[in-house]
Each structure stands twice: as C-alpha cells, then as structure tokens.
Amino acid sequence: MRLLDHIAQSSEPFLVRQDDGELWQLTGAAEFAHRVVGCPLRYVLSDELVRTCTALAYSDGDELSGCLDLLHLPAETLWVEWDEGARRTALARLLPEWAAAGGADAVRAGALISARPAGRAGSLRTFWLTRGEAPEAVVAPVETLLDFDGVAASNDADALLGGSAVTVRDPHNPQSDELLQCAAFRFDSAWQRYYQHITTDAQMRTEVIRRSLAAVASDVPMLLALFLLLAVRAQLVHHPVDPVRVNAKRSRLGRVPLLEHIEVSAPLFAQAERWHGERDGNPRRGPRLHHVRGHLVRRHNAIYWRGPHWRGHVRLGSVRSRTVQLQLPG
C-alpha cells in the first residue's frame, strides 16, 4: 500500500509511555486521516522524477534559488508522496558529504501541503512509512512553513522548544542554504510540550532539535524543484490511478478501499544518463573527456534544463539533444 493509504486507514492514537509510567498522547497519523481522504489532489512521484527534482535542486549554473519568483504551490490542499530510498540515494550521490540523519529507516515519505490562496506561501506536514513486518505511518513532530517571498523567523534553533518558528542554515552547501531561506520550522504543539518535559539537560535538548530539523529540512529543496516543474509546464506525465478493481476485491474481503491518486513521471528528463563515476567499458581516454552535471539556465522568464551528459571525443559516442525548454503558462 501507498503511504497515503496507511495514513487514511490510521485510527489509533499515538501514545508514548515514559519509564516512570506517565502516558503522553502525541499528534499522530490518525489525526490527519480525514484530511488525506478529503484531499482533492494526490501525487505519487516516480523514482526517476524524484532523482530529477533532487538534481534540479542542487544543479550547477543558474540555481533554483534564482527561480523562486516563478514558484506557486499548485493547489490549496495537495498530497505529494515519494520513495525515500530513491531521494536519499540521489542526494548522497550529489552531495557525498551529506550524511543521512533522521527518518533513515523510512521506506516512503510524503507531505500534506496547505497553501494560501495566492499560492506563494503555505505549510506542510511530513510523514514516513517505517520499515518492518508491520509498517506504520508516522508524522514528523515539526511543521514546515513556506513563503517564497522570504520568511520572518528566529535563527536561534534553541527557540524551537519554546514554540517559535526557526530557520535552518546549511553552511556547507550554498544552493541548499539559499533555498532554505524560504522555509521555517516549528514544533507541533503536543510534541513541543512533550520534548520540553523530557529534555532535562542542554545536550539532550540540542540532540532533539538537531534530529527533528534534519528529518524534514532536506525535503524542502526537492519539493521546490517539483513546484518549479509544475509551474513551468515541464511536460510531466500524469497517470490517474483509480483502484476500482482492487477495491471491489477489498470490499468483498471486508477491507478498507484504497485512495485514488495521480502517478507523476518525467520521461522527458529520463534520457539524460545518470553518472555514477567512470562508465563501464568507457573509461576516460583523454583530458578533454568529462561528465557535465545537469544544470539550469535562465534567460529572463525562459528556463532550460540541460541534462547530465558527456563531453569529449566523438569516438566515445554522440550526445543526443540534452536541452529541455520549460515553458511558462500563457
């Protein structure tokens, strides 16, 4: 089942019992079940689209942060789901220094997005589907606030436990750092009270804050890249999935029906070969042969995606058309 179906079928409260016997009821997936069921637009991304969006987010050339004026959230309520392993693998290849932190045991991830009417600002809640024989949908304790015109929030991460919205910086990666300036993060109120109660020393507070922010902050660049592709009509393929036959069988077995959704892929970008180092059977044969990462090029309101490709001697193979123009509506 998709993560969205696990959430839609969640009904049990999320309870945590402390060693002293104290019981806490925290915000869990069940509290979002009705919102996922009622969400009018649900996207499930293909792995190749996840890789494309990750590459766009950290591309060379004109950076995604220079296109924020073109972004709009595509609907007032939207669900986006992806394979978390595909995203983490792509991110690790692009940023070798990046280390997985938080949510590393998740097999799928998703975001329930709420936008303001103009589509330039909104918020999202992040969810994961855990590994194991009995996969469980869990919700991140931190809510992400988006504003493409810039957010006003504290830059003191310690203020997170006090209920404030805080920003995150990435001093090791300029592209990521600029993109994160349109995002702020704050604890869900129930989780904030819980962490305030259990964090008894400074080291524990720092670790809770670090893990909570790391688990959601790295999703922002990929989602912004997706919003750009949706905004500039990048010829993404939308395949509606209506599980009528499956649901008929589930109904006969007394099971809850699965939700309709749209599978989104990007075959236009798939022709660009992804590079994993030296190509088998085609090693470097001269100093001019090199691999060029995919990158954005912006000319006023015209945007081009130049896919990853090889440059070098013609004997090593010709490069097919690698430039894709992304057209603005109207």
Question: For the stretch 175-199, what's the b/e string if a residue is b when 16 or more beta carbons lie within 10 angstroms of its beta carbon?
Answer: bbebbbbbbbbbbbebbbebbeeeb
Is 119 part of a structural domain of the chain? yes
- Between these two residues, 62 and 30, which has the higher pLDDT value? 30
Is 186 part of a structural domain of the chain? yes
| DSSP 3-state of 259 | coil
Poorest-pLDDT segment among 138-142, 210-214, 320-324: 320-324
Question: At 159, is the pLDDT very low, low, confident or very high (cuts 50, 70, 90)?
Answer: very high
The per-residue pLDDT for range 172-203, each reduced to its tens digit, is: 778 888 889 899 999 999 999 999 999 989 99
Is 118 part of a structural domain of the chain? yes
Half-sphere exposure of 166 (CA within 13 A, CB side): 23
**Residue 202: domain span:** 41-250+256-265
Question: At 299, is the pLDDT very low, low, confident or very high (cuts 50, 70, 90)?
Answer: confident
pLDDT over threshold 50, residue 275? no
Contact 111, 102 (CB under 8 A): no
Question: At 31, is the pLDDT very low, low, confident or very high (cuts 50, 70, 90)?
Answer: very high
Half-sphere exposure of 49 (CA within 13 A, CB side): 26
Is 225 part of a structural domain of the chain? yes
Is 223 part of a structural domain of the chain? yes
Contact 31, 66 (CB under 8 A): no
pLDDT of the residue at 102: 47
pLDDT over threshold 70, residue 94? yes
Question: At 304, is the pLDDT very low, low, confident or very high (cuts 50, 70, 90)?
Answer: confident
E-state strands within the chain: 14-17, 23-26, 42-45, 60-61, 77-83, 106-115, 121-130, 137-147, 183-187, 237-241, 261-265, 290-292, 295-299, 302-306, 309-311, 323-326
The per-residue pLDDT for range 9-30, each reduced to its tens digit, is: 999 999 999 888 899 999 999 9
User: In the chain, how many domains are there?
Assistant: 1
Is 189 part of a structural domain of the chain? yes
Is 10 part of a structural domain of the chain? no
Is 326 part of a structural domain of the chain? no
